[in-house]
Amino acid sequence: MSKTNLTFGPVPSRRFGVSLGIDLSPDFKQCNYDCLYCELKAAKTVSKMTKYPSVKELIDAVKNKILSTHTKIDVLTITANGEPTLYPDLKELVTELNKIKGDSKLLILSNGSTIYKQDIQDALMDIDIVKLSLDCISKECFTKLDRADKSIDTDKIVSGMIEFRDKFKKDLILEILFVDTLNNKEKEILFLKEAIAQIKPNRVDIGTIDRPPAYKVNPISFDELEQISHKLEYPYINIAHKNRPEFQEYYSKDSIITLLNRRPLSEHDIQHTFDKESKTNLETLISDKKIEVINNSGVKFYKIC
């Protein structure tokens, strides 16, 4: 192991409040995927990290340099220039972070590639929020889009997520990033729908490319994302879109109830689609206890009581 320059930084997050990112691979990209859409520079895939900070370095930096000066950290986010579950001492790091985090939540952002491995599942069990990517189900899609390292058995990823969900009783979020002509095909959407129904995450975040990608690939439109959200037929879907358009309309109380009977709507859905009078109708329905607001892993959803 080589000593590295640690990378930390408190950043605002509309989903989790103030989030402090803890980079487990600060010097260069170490990932077992080479995704076409990655915002990091293209790099050869790896099966393990070869250079990384020690647990002691990380804990000392969080405890002495960060928590002492930034007292309102809502979430400690384990991340990496690459894939954080390749960090060899992940379980020990999670244990030590839990000792010092106080009221902060502990979150990991993973590509989901190693979730079928028992040691990874064990390491994630004591994390408050686990967010896993799942862009593809078919081997064809994995090969073209995520470009997985040969050490990964992509056939085991979904079954690994199902197994993990059965044991993990905290917040599990799936994230899907759609790339035009690849995983937005009808058969891939159907595969994803079936997998999500079996995994049963707390929430599914769907989005598309909004930063310059490593390779020449294209995003899909917000309208297509919205269409896909309905095709997935899962109650808690959050559409993440950097330039989400606003098309505010009027909804009567009856229309709102009909709408929410189909699927709960996120706070972002309401803000971008309900006009002022519709929002007043919504508040009345909440006061009448016909609609309730729930916090689903950091995102507010409106649903029928």
**Can you give the CATH number for the domain in which 273 is found?**
1.10.10.10
**Could you give the CA distance from residue 115 to residue 133 in angstroms, rounded to a whole number?**
11
Claim to verify: residue 104 and residue 200 sit in the same structural domain:
yes
Q: What pLDDT digit, counting tens, does each position of 201-210 carry?
A: 999 999 999 8
Claim to verify: residue 117 and residue 170 sit in the same structural domain:
yes
Res. 180: pLDDT tops 80: yes
Backbone angles phi, psi at 177, to 5 degrees: -110, 120
Examine residue 197 and state whether it is found in any structural domain, yes or no: yes
Residue 12 pLDDT class (50, 70, 90 cuts) = very low
Claim to verify: residue 46 and residue 13 sit in the same structural domain:
yes
Residue 8 pLDDT class (50, 70, 90 cuts) = low
CA atoms within 13 A on the CB side of 148: 23
Q: What pLDDT digit, counting tens, does each position of 108-165 carry?
A: 999 999 999 999 999 999 999 999 999 999 999 999 999 999 999 999 999 999 999 9
- Residue 131 belongs to domain with CATH number: 3.20.20.70
Residue 15 pLDDT class (50, 70, 90 cuts) = low
**Could you give the CA distance from residue 175 to residue 281 in angstroms, rounded to a whole number?**
32
Of 239, 265, 293, the last residue of a domain is 239
Residue 1 pLDDT class (50, 70, 90 cuts) = very low
Examine residue 286 and state whether it is found in any structural domain, yes or no: yes
Burial of 106-118, coded b for 16+ CB within 10 Å and e otherwise, reads bbbbbbbbbbbee
**Could you give the CA distance from residue 146 to residue 268 in angstroms, rounded to a whole number?**
28
pLDDT reported for residue 16: 60
Q: How many domains does the chain have?
A: 2
Of 190, 209, 239, the last residue of a domain is 239
Q: What pLDDT digit, counting tens, does each position of 36-46 carry?
A: 999 888 899 99
The alpha carbon dihedral of 7, 173, 84, 57 has a sign of: positive
Examine residue 20 and state whether it is found in any structural domain, yes or no: yes
Q: Which of 107, 108, 17 is nearest to 70 (CA)?
A: 17
Claim to verify: residue 16 and residue 159 sit in the same structural domain:
yes
92 burial level (CB within 10 Å; 0-12, 13-18, 19+): middle
pLDDT, averaged across the chain: 90
Claim to verify: residue 184 and residue 216 sit in the same structural domain:
yes
**Could you give the CA distance from residue 155 to residue 158 in angstroms, rounded to a whole number?**
7
Examine residue 114 and state whether it is found in any structural domain, yes or no: yes
Domain that holds residue 272: 253-304
